[in-house]
Amino acid sequence: MSLRSGVLLVLVAAMLTAAPASAQLLFGPKNELLDPGKAFRISARALDERNVEVEFRIADGYYMYRDRFSFATESGKPLADVEIPRGTPKEDQFFGKTETFRRLVRIRVPISAEDAAKGSVNLKVTSQGCADIGVCYTPLEQTVRVALPRRKPS
Amino acid sequence: MNAILSNPNCPYCKRFEEDLAKLDDITVYILPWAVVKPESVRQAKAVWCSKDRVKAWNDLMFRRIEPQAPTDCDNPIEKIIEFGRNLGANSTPTWFVETGERYSGAMPLEEVRKLLDGASPPKR
C-alpha cells in the first residue's frame, strides 16, 4: 500500500446519507443478486396434526447454513426439537466446520398440542444464506401460515 | 475511496478486505455492521472501544483474535446497524464508491478496480 492508502474505521453517515439510497445494485443481468426471499423460497405444509414440514427451494449458486435456522410461533415462542437433515460439510479456514444446503432442504417442525388445537399456525422462520458470487445475506425472517388437520376422533 | 458495510462473521468480507489491501492509493472506510450473527454486536463494540481500532478489527477479521476491550464505551454500532438497514442493505459486504453507487459482494479485484477508477478519476 502507498502512503496515501489507509484503512479507517469511521462513521461516515453524513457522506453516505448523501448517496442515493436507490443506487442500483450493479451486477449485470447475468449475475444479479436475488432478493433473499427469491433466493431462498419458503413453503410449508402439515405432515399430520402435530408436525409441519418447512421447505426451502434454494436458487442455483446460493446456499444456506444449517446452524442458522430457527423457528418460533408468531408470538415469538421458540420451537424446539426441530429435525434438520445433515447438510454438506463445509470447512472454512476461519469459521470452522459448518454444514450447508443447496437446491432443497426440508425441515420437520413439531407443533405443541396447544398451538395445534387452534387448527392453524403461523410459523416465524429465521434463516441465513449466501451467494457464491461473494455475498452473505443478513438473517432472513419469513412467516408461513399452515393449516393443521383436525385430530381424528379415536 | 470505498466505504464498506463489513462484518467479522462474513467470510466474503474478509476476502474483500484482503483484496482491497492489494490496491494502491485508496482509502477504505470500514463500517462495522453488526448484523450477521448475534455475537457480531459484542465484537463490533469491543473493536470500537479498542485503543487501536484498525488493529483490533484486523486482528479479529484476519487472525480471529477476539477484541478484549470493554463494550460499554460510547459507540455508534447500533446506529450503524440502523443506518445500513435504512439504506436497504441486506447483505455483506455491501459497499459504496465515491459517486454513492452501491454494490454487493466480494467481486473479483479487477472488477472492483475498474469500478473504483470509474468512480474517482485521478485528481492530479
Residue B56 lies inside a defined structural domain of this protein: yes
pLDDT of A38 reads 96
- In percent, the amount of chain B with pLDDT more than 70 equals 97
Residue B94 lies inside a defined structural domain of this protein: yes
Location of C-alpha cell 421458540: A78
Taking CA–CA distances from B101, the nearest residue in chain A reads: A23
ipTM value:
0.87
Q: Which domain holds residue B102?
A: 2-119
Q: Which residues in chain B have their CB less than 8 angstroms from residue A139's CB?
A: 35-36
Describe the strand order of the beta sheet including A51-58 as a list of residue ranges: A40-48, A51-58, A104-110
pLDDT of B119 reads 87
CA gap B13, B28 in Å, rounded: 13
Contact present, A97 and A89 (Cβ < 8 Å): yes
Residue of higher predicted confidence among A153 and A106: A106
Element (H, E) at B56: helix B53-63
Report the CATH number at residue B46: 3.40.30.10
Residue B69 lies inside a defined structural domain of this protein: yes
pLDDT of B25 reads 87
- CA B70 to chain A, closest CA, distance in angstroms equals 17
The predicted-structure confidence for A118-139, as pLDDT tens digits, reads as follows 999 999 999 999 999 999 999 9
In which band, very low, low, confident or very high, does the pLDDT at A19 lie, cut at 50, 70 and 90?
Answer: very low
Cis peptide before B76 (omega within 30 of 0): no
Residue B90 forms contact with A (CB below 8 Å): yes
Which residues does B58 contact at the CB level (< 8 Å), separation at least 6?
A7
Give the CATH number of domain A36-143: 2.60.40.1250
Contact present, A40 and A64 (Cβ < 8 Å): yes
> In this structure, what C-alpha cell is assigned to residue A132?
457464491
Checking if the pLDDT of A11 tops 80, the result is no
CA B67, distance to chain mean position in Å, is: 16
Q: Are strands A120-127 and A140-147 parallel, antiparallel or unpaired?
A: antiparallel
Residue B115 lies inside a defined structural domain of this protein: yes
Number of domains in chain B: 1
Residue B124 lies inside a defined structural domain of this protein: no
User: How do the domains of chain A map onto residue ranges?
Assistant: 36-143
Contact present, A86 and A117 (Cβ < 8 Å): no
> In this structure, what C-alpha cell is assigned to residue A42?
419458503
pLDDT of B122 reads 66
- In percent, the amount of chain A with pLDDT more than 70 equals 75
Residue B39 lies inside a defined structural domain of this protein: yes
pTM assigned to the model = 0.83
